[in-house]
Amino acid sequence: MSKYPLLGMTLAELQSVVRGLRMPGFAAKQIASWLYDKKVATIDEMTNLSLKHREALKADYEVGGEAPVDAMHSVDGTIKYLYRVGENHFVEAVYIPDDDRATLCVSSQVGCKMNCKFCMTGKQGFTANLTSNQILNQINSLPECDKLTNIVMMGMGEPLDNLDEVLKALEILTASYGYAWSPKRITLSTVGLRKGLQHFIEESDCHLAISLHSPLPSQRSDLMPAERAFSIVEIVDLLKNYDFSKQRRLSFEYIVFRGVNDSLIYAKELVKLLRGLDCRMNLIRFHAIPDVDLNGADMETMTAFRDYLTSHGLFSTIRSSRGEDIFAACGMLSTAKQEENNKN
């Protein structure tokens, strides 16, 4: 019978564990320190717990860390790691070093329900939500964990579709008993789900990024079916109820597709749509995926698009394209691994 993982438990949950095992109350903070500060791999390493208490803990629990099962290395230093979750499922985390920054894109689901036209993960369909253990394991078991400066919840899956486990992971990442990261080092990226967006804004101080990709609802719904349930106009109206000028940053992600959404007509519509919001725009080059007839815009077009937005009050940047030689866009490696296992 498998044991329960301690990694991914909040302090309140650890307190419940020690009470059930008749351990002293302060043992919960000791266990949290071993898990999140010292990052031990086994309960035996928790040496300030008595041998009796370690044995009691080991009867039903384990640390629950699991190293990546595969990795792909890009010529630009980007590394895509593959983690096993469950019996025969896999998720990806992408490590992106860049001068004095090192960012990790973290997954929150196996597959995804959103089925965005440009996303390989959406082509997999949805299989399962990740637990806080499986979310944090991507960080905790990362070989470069101690080099990380930033985390982005924009790997496989839609974070707001698994909000309870994502919020638990974010609590542990930012709490003093956990990894004690500043919320300003963490960004959650979402297509924008009505039921989760407001809850996230009110429960977390982490940065927020909205996947936009078109200012026109009809075109956005073609690219992103989630538009039909909660339109970008409604999302913007909701966001205007909150102050993003101080504690957190609000940004919009915009993949620039050649001949689709890259003309200045779209830039003008973006300025109109986002007027009155304290936000920025991240323009992204498209990484081609199989069987999708979309192509990335050239750099001259993207630069003109960026300059128009910035000159009209919407500060915009072009995100550097990283890991293209290893298909760093999420879903490619896990899909290949799943297909390989299905053949065997």
> 212 a known binding residue?
yes
Cβ atoms of 314 and 274 within 8 Å: the answer is: yes
Pairing verdict, β 126-129 and 109-111 = antiparallel
**Region for 8 from its dihedrals, namely left if φ exceeds 0, alpha if ψ lies in -120 to 50, beta otherwise:** left
- Residue 92 designated active-site: yes
Tracing tokens 């200045």 back to the chain, one arrives at 264
> 158 a known binding residue?
yes
Task: Tell me which of 66, 269, 330, 339 is the catalytic residue.
Answer: 330
On the CB side of 45, how many CA atoms lie within 13 Å of its CA? 12
Beta strands of the chain (E only): which ranges?
4-5, 61-62, 70-73, 79-85, 89-98, 101-105, 109-111, 126-129, 150-153, 186-190, 207-211, 250-256, 280-285, 316-319
> 119 a known binding residue?
yes
Q: At what angle do helices 194-203 and 163-174 cross, to 10 degrees?
A: 20
Task: Tell me which of 13, 55, 92, 144 is the catalytic residue.
Answer: 92
> 157 a known binding residue?
yes
> 213 a known binding residue?
yes
> 45 a known binding residue?
no
- Rounded Cα distance between 162 and 170, Å, is 12
> 206 a known binding residue?
no
On the CB side of 64, how many CA atoms lie within 13 Å of its CA? 25
> 53 a known binding residue?
no
- Rounded Cα distance between 138 and 191, Å, is 22
- Residue 206 designated active-site: no
Pairing verdict, β 207-211 and 250-256 = parallel
> 311 a known binding residue?
no
Chain-centre distance for alpha carbon 137: 13
Which residues does the annotation place in the binding site for [4Fe-4S] cluster?
112, 116, 119
Query: Which residues are annotated as part of the binding site for S-adenosyl-L-methionine?
Result: 157-158, 189, 211-213, 287
Catalytic residues: 92, 330
Q: Which residues are annotated as a binding site?
A: 112, 116, 119, 157-158, 189, 211-213, 287
